[in-house]
Structures are given as structure tokens and as C-alpha cells.
Structure 1
Amino acid sequence: MKGIFEFIEKYFFIVILVAVAISLAYPNSFKWVLSEYNGINVINLLLSIVLFTMGTTLKVDDFINVFKNPKEITVGISAQYVIMPLMAFTLASAFSLDTALTAGLILVGTVPGGTASDVITFLAKGDVALSVSLTAVSTVISPILTPIITLLLIGNQIQFNPVDMFISIIEIVIVPIILGLILNYKFPNFCEKLKVYLPTASSIVICLIVAGVIGANKQAILTSSGIILIVIVLQYFLAMLIGFGIGYLAGMGRKQIITVAIELAFQNSGLSTSLAKTHFPNLSQATVPGALYSVLQNFAGSILAYAFRKYQSSR
């Protein structure tokens, strides 16, 4: 069993591509992911599982590290909630995306960093402690900043309630993380044993979310997603390049520069998809940017991690 989990974690980019292929060939296979049971969105429940697993890997020390690396944290978080949203808005405007795709792209830019960034940073031999701190801090403050920034950018185009979005993020993100933190505090040895399986469990859940969204929007993706694919690719690689640039200009070390670049490029696309499904129910394609971004960041990230690791080894 452990070998299977390690294989999935190592070759996640292949697994997610297989999930996408299945969802395109058999769209109804993952239809249940976007359904509701007893008033609960399955996609929100799945994402809560991912954030709970993240919580079980965190400790209070991860937040204390914020004060040990104030420059890196300040630069990283500022870029996360200033540069990424503005980039998303600029790309949506430049490519004249429709309302639904604009909403989805903006959410990809306003959500916190994704947990996959910590894994990719480890593989790339970056500063894992900094990556964990950046992910943790951006996630904890997301209930306030994500709704506010989203409202500022598209509130004049799309009607939604930022307070409801705040509550959603608390329910989907903060509560599961706190429960995970408590479990790790009370039963650290148990959580340490779980660490072997948690990345794979999270990866499987993300695959299900992506497959569900792509299957539900198969026709729209195949007929009109050429532009959005270009935009998503630009968003990802521009984030990476900007991360390198601001890290260098801030005078960070090589490991920290790589870490900030990865953190910016790896968004919590699962959360953006969940928020789009919950708060823009009449804009079905608003879930598409998050799903496509998840496929790209995990596929490209695995390759870039290898390149970064080779670069680090050659220095």
C-alpha cells in the first residue's frame, strides 16, 4: 500500500492527466463531485479534506517562523495578494474573457498559495520552512483578503456577497486546518505516521475535483477554451518569473528566490474552483480556470522541480 501511495505522489502529473482523459471520455464518471448531498456541496467537502490534511502537518512553530523571516514573508505575501490578483485582472481584460471565465480567473489570482507548493519546493531543494510559512499565512488571512480583493476587481461586473464568501472560506479552509492542528498537537506521533500518506490523499482529492469540473464542462472546454488555455499558461509562467524577479530584487538567497517563485505560481486552484461553484452558480464556466490551472501547475511544476533541483546541484 505504501508503495502505491509513493508512486502516486511521485508521478502525480501522470495521474492527473489520466483523470482528465477519463473525464473527457466519460464526462458523467465524476458528475457526483459537483453534486450536493443533504445540502452539502461535495466539492467543498473534498477540499476541506485537503485542508484538514494540511493542518495535520502544521505546528505552531510554522507560524513563529514568520517572525524569523520577516522580509521573505512580507515580500511573498504582498506579491500573493497584490501581484497575482492584478495579473489575473490584467490578463482577463487583455484577452477580453467573458464574465464567467473572468470570474474564475480572478479567483485563481485571489486565493492563497496551494499546498502543492510545499512538495514542489522540497523536490526543488528550496526553503521548505519558508514555503510552509508562506502557505500557512496566506491561507489563514484568505477569508478576509480573497473576498475583498475579488469584490474590488469584479464587484461592478458580477453580483456576489463577499460576507458569504468569507464564511465559505472559514468553513472550507480555516475550520479544517484548525482541526488538523489540534489533531497534530494532541497526537503528534500519529500525525507523523500519517505524513507518508497525506500528500497522496490530497493529490487524489484534487484529481477528483479537476476531473469533475472538466467532465461537467467538456463541451465548453473543447469548443471555446483555446484562449483560456493561453491565459492560464501565461498566468502560471508569469507568476514564476515575477517570483524570481521580486526575490532577486529583495536580495534573497537562491533557495528563497526559488521558493517565492514556486509559491506565487502554485495557487490553491481547488479553493478557487469551489468558491466559483458556490458563489457563481449561474456561471458554470467560472469553475474552468481553476481546474485547468490545477492540471497545468501540477504537470509543469513536477518538471520545473526537476530542473530547479539540477540547477541547485550544479552550484
Structure 2
Amino acid sequence: QIGAHVLLFFLVFGMSATVDIAQMRKQLKNRTAILIGIFLQFVILPFVGFLIVKILKMDAAIGVTLLVVTSSPGGSYSNWWCSLFNAELALSVTMTGISTLFSVVMLPLNLIIYTSGSYSNEVVKALDWFALFLSLVTVIGGIAAGVLSSAWMNSTRFNLLANKVGNFAGLALVTFSAVVSSTSKDASLWNQDWKFFVGCAFPALVGVTMATYLATKFGLDKPERVAVAVEGCYQNTGIATSVAASMFTGTELATAIGVPLYYGIVEAVILAFFCIICWKAGWTKAPADENCCRMILTSYEV
């Protein structure tokens, strides 16, 4: 838990410190993109999660954890994806920061509403609010430290170095999560029925589809459309992992942990294909005819 939060902090710090402050100030005025993100993450996705839980009649271990995932703010890996594929990183960091601030109120509010509408009061009382807010504080702290460092250093060299630190932390966090999941009690992940796989994957598909449609309809720049779509799809699964670990034990824990793990896999697969398609279609800042490895290793943000 401590190691994961440290890596999460440096991932967010590195991505935030990559961004030019002037670009971030500009994106703070991008009300359309920010409102699309808030609408998706705190209105549409929580409601979609609730419908899935009710229609498929998921048990508490799966349902509550899925509701935490769909009610969470944008995940910090969204910044990583935007950095790797050269979408509008300044917008991505701005949206992550704003959604995380909103989630201090909206996450518990949505959880109380939809968990109460799906399960008994005992389940609602068992939610670990400390685990929720610890992840939120880590993300907010990383963004604040990164933005302030970028403004203080005011150096392109520092921005590029911070980008490398963030990418390294992102890779380390992926490796860390894979190692922990492979040695924990979540071996039952691939033994679930079709309801688990379809239900837990559906919100991510809704997020990326609706975000792309709305961003295009409202005429955002192409790199901004990619950033909005990534933000609309990528939720902070770390919060759900922490909640599941504190709420459940034994077989229920193995099942609950599988929800954010599987959701994270689905997000990664969807965004990998989506970002490659957008790059080749000329929707990112990287040239469409650039070598793939060079495109990933080069930051066109600075």
C-alpha cells in the first residue's frame, strides 16, 4: 500500500511537472472539455455502474467494488497514456486535478446514493472512507507539487526530466500491481461468469465512446479530443483496490480485488487501440508517419 502510493505520487508529479504552466492556464479556461469530463465521471459512469449492478444482480463483493470504480475520479494513468501517445497532456493533468477535487464530495455522495439503492445499510457502513481519501490526497499532492515545481524551475530540460520520472513511475506501478495481484488471493479472476466480465467492462466502453462523441460534437481540437476520451474512460482503480482490501476477506476479497484488476486491464486494452488509431488518424501531436518506438519515447509536449 505504501509503495503503491509513493509510485502513484511520483507518476502524478512527473506528468504534472511536464506541463508548461502557460498551457495549463489556457486549459483551465477550456470549460467545454472540463465539463464533459465532470459530466461523464460523476453523472454518467456512476449511474451506468448502478444500472449494471441492479440489472445483473451482482453480489456485494463485486457490485460495491464496481460502484467505487465508476464513482472514482480520473485515474492518474490517464496522464501517462496522454504523455505516451502525445495527446493534450496539459488538459489531461488539468482534468485529473479538477475531477479529483470534485471527487472529495462527489465520490462519497454517489457511493452513498447508489450503494444504498443496491445493498443493505450494513454494506454502506462497511465502506472504508480513509482508504478513499488517502488516494485522493496523494493525487492532489502530486499534481500540486508537479505544477509548482514546473513554475519554479521554468525549464524545458526539467520538464523533459520530469516526464521521464513520471513514465518510469508509471511502468514501476504497473509492474508492482502485476506482482501483487499474481501473489495475492485473486486467482479466481478468470473463473468468474459472463456477468462479471461484461458488466465490469461496459462502463469503460461507455466512457470512451461518449467522451469521443461529445468532444467531437463540441468542436474540441483533435489532441484535446483524445485527452477527453482517455479521461472519460480511465478511472482511479487504486481507490477501489484499497476499499476492497479493507472491506472483504477470504473468497469475497479475491472476487472484489478482481474487479479493479480486470477493469484496469480493460482500460489498458481499449486505450492502447484507441490511442494508436488516433495517432495514425492525425489526432495527436506526434506525426502520424513517425516511427512507433520514437513516437512513444519522444515528448511532443515540450
TM-score band by shorter chain is: 0.7 to 0.9
Name the structure 1 match of 2:165: 197
Name the structure 2 match of 1:14: none
Structure 2: how far apart are the matches of 1:256 and 1:55? 16
User: What does 1:298-313 correspond to in 2, within 5 Å?
Assistant: 298-312=268-282
Deviations 1:222-257 (A, max 9, x none): 322543222233222222111123234434454443
Aligned residue identity for 2:244? A
Aligned residue identity for 1:246? L
Unaligned runs of 5+ in 1: 1-33, 35-40
Name the structure 2 match of 1:28: none
Deviation of 1:169 (Å): 3.7
Deviation of 1:65 (Å): 3.0
Aligned residue identity for 2:267? Q
Check whether the contact 2:91–2:224 (CA below 8 A) recurs between aligned residues.
yes
Aligned residue identity for 1:137? I
Structure 1: how far apart are the matches of 2:193 and 2:168? 29
Same amino acid, percent of matched pairs: 19
Structure 2: how far apart are the matches of 1:180 and 1:256? 21
Between 95-104 and 259-268, report the one with greater CA deviation. Answer: 259-268
User: What does 1:1-315 correspond to in 2, within 5 Å?
Assistant: 41-57=2-18, 61=22, 64-121=25-82, 126-155=87-116, 157=119, 158=123, 159-160=125-126, 164=130, 167-187=133-153, 189=155, 190=158, 192-224=160-192, 226-278=194-246, 280-282=247-249, 283-284=252-253, 285-312=255-282
Distance change in 2, residues 1:258/1:165 (3 Å): same
What's the TM-score once normalised by structure 2's chain length? 0.76
Deviations 1:39-71 (A, max 9, x none): xx5544443443344444456556533442112
Structure 1: how far apart are the matches of 2:22 and 2:113? 34
Structure 1: how far apart are the matches of 2:128 and 2:195? 28
Deviation of 1:207 (Å): 3.0
Structure 2: how far apart are the matches of 1:57 and 1:253? 20
Check whether the contact 1:247–1:257 (CA below 8 A) recurs between aligned residues.
yes
Distance change in 2, residues 1:248/1:286 (3 Å): same
Count of equivalent residues = 274
Check whether the contact 2:207–2:232 (CA below 8 A) recurs between aligned residues.
yes
Deviation of 1:161 (Å): 5.6
Deviation of 1:220 (Å): 2.1
Deviation of 1:179 (Å): 3.6
SS state at 1:114 partner: coil
Aligned residue identity for 2:63? T
Aligned residue identity for 2:270? A
Check whether the contact 2:100–2:136 (CA below 8 A) recurs between aligned residues.
no
Check whether the contact 2:77–2:234 (CA below 8 A) recurs between aligned residues.
yes
Check whether the contact 2:20–2:90 (CA below 8 A) recurs between aligned residues.
no
What's the TM-score once normalised by structure 1's chain length? 0.73
Aligned residue identity for 1:84? L
Structure 2: how far apart are the matches of 1:104 and 1:214? 19
CA RMSD of aligned residues (A): 3.0
Distance change in 2, residues 1:60/1:310 (3 Å): closer
Structure 1: how far apart are the matches of 2:133 and 2:84? 34
Distance change in 2, residues 1:86/1:70 (3 Å): same
Distance change in 2, residues 1:239/1:173 (3 Å): same
Structure 2: how far apart are the matches of 1:53 and 1:275? 26
Aligned residue identity for 2:140? I
Structure 2: how far apart are the matches of 1:240 and 1:119? 16
Deviations 1:112-136 (A, max 9, x none): 1123323434565643332232122
SS state at 1:72 partner: helix
SS state at 2:62 partner: helix
Unaligned runs of 5+ in 2: 283-287, 290-302
Structure 1: how far apart are the matches of 2:61 and 2:34? 33
